[in-house]
A and B are shown apart, each in its own frame.
Chain A
Amino acid sequence: MNAADGPLISLVVTGRNDGYGVRDRLLDTLRFNHRELSARGISYEYVLTEWAPDPKWPLLADLIADTLPETHGLVTSYIVDPAYHETLTMNPRVPYMDYLAKNVGIRRARGRFILVTNVDIYFGRRVLDLLESRAFAPRTVYRAVRCDLKMGFKHEDPAWDVLEDPDNLEAPPRPLKQPLLLGGSGDFVLLDRETFCELGGYNEVYRLARVGVDANFLVKAYASGLDFVDVGGPVYHINHAGSYRLSYEAYKGQEAEAPWGDRRWHYHGVVYDNPPTWGLRDAPMRDLGSGRWRLDFSWDAVPPLVDLKRIVLPVDRVGRPQPKRYKK
């Protein structure tokens, strides 16, 4: 894959068709986002990692091809052998490893800039304005605040007035705070590909939780000297049962039992130095046609179970605000 002639933006997402509504949310948001991106002439590719898909269900990539033919040629999917999940997980309670999956997409993305987001996110106007303007710089993390749409919000292709109606929101969004602009960062991080790869993507050393891994990346980016910019407008999130934001209170006092891992881990305080093979670099890839690739299992692609020297402390930034770190 030659990156030189790649698109401006790679939208990197992950998902699994397992009967919990991912399919509908993905199709709804992709339909909307594709329409808006195309209307503004923004060149993009949609990089979808299907992490350990259940063979009982059709692949999301096939559903996209069937349902949204207008996206033909724009979608690349990586189907990751379930054996990778089995060998990489360090917490059997966590059924899905979002950020390992996203790393698969980030490593293979071709766009000059990578926008890591989720399959239940509609882009807002300011986000689209930014992408259209191309007024973004390298070594800069762009963040957008997240608005949660009310539970039960169902519009296959919502019009702007519906999406932007405050009555359709659960609550006004919480503003992003300097210096790290934390809060829902799994839903929107835009950064140039070169820097994303230089940082080695998301944490692959601590594989006990999915919660906090997005924030942990921002801590690393900040310690690495990157600038942070708030786009100034929101993305819209389709709320759904079982999401972390709606359910974490249910695990109060038994945080270690949660399906997203223990939210109290020190993601503000430590960072990581991923091995050079991050993103399953050495996984054998098989072309399934129509932009679909399968990553077959190989022990050669699996990093060590334990690699403690790769857990490191972030560097302080002289003359810049120091994020709060110690949480317990």
Chain B
Amino acid sequence: MGLLQALGLVPSARLAAANERLRKLESKIETLSQKLSDAQADARTWQVKAEEARQRAKDVKAEAARALQRADKARAEIEKEAARAKKRAVDVPALEHRLDGAEQDLAAARNHLMAIEVKLDILEGAAAVLDRRTRTLLSRSPQDAVR
């Protein structure tokens, strides 16, 4: 044994064992290489997904900003409308009061109009009666009428 070692030789059994270890190491290296390759592929997939997620986050953020803008606009509109409604609420009683006054004026005007129309009817009737009487009188005694 010592001599073989001195000559740089190893027993065949030991060589076989070394070969066997070498083969196993190569196999392990092969496996590890495969795993490394898989890991690299996974990494690339995750990188894509991360990129997509980043894009979605960016979109959501933009959408949120727009929604916020719309909400601000809506709030401003509501505030304006509330101010208008408040103004209207203040004006309605005054408007109703004016309407009541106008209705009373209209009723009074109509009443007076009726009275005037009736009086005009009477005047017209009286004029017609007097006209008739005058014509009768004149037709009966024209000489008296001339005198």
Binding site for B on A (CB under 8 A): 89-92, 205-208, 262, 265-266, 269-270, 305-306, 308, 311-313, 325-326, 328
With both chains docked as a complex, state the minimum distance between the C-beta of A325 and any C-beta of chain B, in angstroms: 7
User: With A208-B121, A270-B115, A312-B115 in contact, is A325–B126 under 8 Å at CB?
Assistant: no
In-complex Cβ contact of A265 among B121, B126, B132 (8 A): B121
**Chain A residues whose CB sits within 8 angstroms of the CB of B117 once the complex forms:** 266, 328
In-complex Cβ contact of B122 among A205, A262, A326 (8 A): A205
10 A-B contact pairs sorted by A residue (CB < 8 Å): A89-B129, A92-B128, A262-B121, A269-B111, A270-B114, A305-B129, A306-B122, A308-B122, A311-B119, A313-B111
**Chain B residues whose CB sits within 8 angstroms of the CB of A89 once the complex forms:** 129
User: Once bound together, how far apart are the Cα atoms of A303 and B82, in whole Å?
Assistant: 69
With both chains docked as a complex, state the minimum distance between the C-beta of A87 and any C-beta of chain B, in angstroms: 9
User: With A89-B129, A90-B129 in contact, is A266–B114 under 8 Å at CB?
Assistant: yes
User: Once bound together, how far apart are the Cα atoms of A312 and B121, in whole Å?
Assistant: 14
Binding site for A on B (CB under 8 A): 110-115, 117-119, 121-123, 125-126, 128-130, 132
With both chains docked as a complex, state the minimum distance between the C-beta of B121 and any C-beta of chain A, in angstroms: 6
With both chains docked as a complex, state the minimum distance between the C-beta of A311 and any C-beta of chain B, in angstroms: 5
User: Once bound together, how far apart are the Cα atoms of A90 and B130, in whole Å?
Assistant: 9
User: Once bound together, how far apart are the Cα atoms of A287 and B122, in whole Å?
Assistant: 35
User: Once bound together, how far apart are the Cα atoms of A207 and B118, in whole Å?
Assistant: 11
Q: A90-B128, A90-B129 are in contact. List 5 more A-B contacts (CB 8 A).
A: A206-B121, A266-B117, A308-B123, A312-B115, A325-B114
Closest to A328 in B: B117
**Chain A residues whose CB sits within 8 angstroms of the CB of B112 once the complex forms:** 313
**Chain A residues whose CB sits within 8 angstroms of the CB of B129 once the complex forms:** 89-90, 92, 305
Contact A326 B121 (CB under 8 A): no
**Chain A residues whose CB sits within 8 angstroms of the CB of B119 once the complex forms:** 308, 311
**Chain A residues whose CB sits within 8 angstroms of the CB of B130 once the complex forms:** 305
With both chains docked as a complex, state the minimum distance between the C-beta of B126 and any C-beta of chain A, in angstroms: 5
With both chains docked as a complex, state the minimum distance between the C-beta of A64 and any C-beta of chain B, in angstroms: 34
Grouping DSSP codes into helix (H, G, I), strand (E, B) and loop, the A interface class, with mixed when no group exceeds half, is loop
User: With A92-B132, A208-B121 in contact, is A305–B114 under 8 Å at CB?
Assistant: no
Contact A90 B114 (CB under 8 A): no
With both chains docked as a complex, state the minimum distance between the C-beta of A201 and any C-beta of chain B, in angstroms: 18
User: Once bound together, how far apart are the Cα atoms of A265 and B123, in whole Å?
Assistant: 14
User: Once bound together, how far apart are the Cα atoms of A207 and B110, in whole Å?
Assistant: 22
Closest to B125 in A: A90
User: Once bound together, how far apart are the Cα atoms of A269 and B116, in whole Å?
Assistant: 11
Contact B115 A326 (CB under 8 A): no
With both chains docked as a complex, state the minimum distance between the C-beta of A191 and any C-beta of chain B, in angstroms: 24
User: Once bound together, how far apart are the Cα atoms of A99 and B126, in whole Å?
Assistant: 19
In-complex Cβ contact of B114 among A91, A92, A269 (8 A): A269
**Chain A residues whose CB sits within 8 angstroms of the CB of B114 once the complex forms:** 266, 269-270, 313, 325-326
With both chains docked as a complex, state the minimum distance between the C-beta of B113 and any C-beta of chain A, in angstroms: 8
With both chains docked as a complex, state the minimum distance between the C-beta of B89 and any C-beta of chain A, in angstroms: 31
User: Once bound together, how far apart are the Cα atoms of A89 and B123, in whole Å?
Assistant: 13
Contact A270 B118 (CB under 8 A): yes
User: With A313-B111, A325-B110, A325-B111 in contact, is A266–B118 under 8 Å at CB?
Assistant: yes
User: Once bound together, how far apart are the Cα atoms of A62 and B117, in whole Å?
Assistant: 43
**Chain B residues whose CB sits within 8 angstroms of the CB of A328 once the complex forms:** 117
User: Once bound together, how far apart are the Cα atoms of A306 and B120, in whole Å?
Assistant: 11
**Chain B residues whose CB sits within 8 angstroms of the CB of A90 once the complex forms:** 122, 125-126, 128-129
Contact B122 A208 (CB under 8 A): yes
User: Once bound together, how far apart are the Cα atoms of A205 and B119, in whole Å?
Assistant: 10
Contact B126 A305 (CB under 8 A): yes
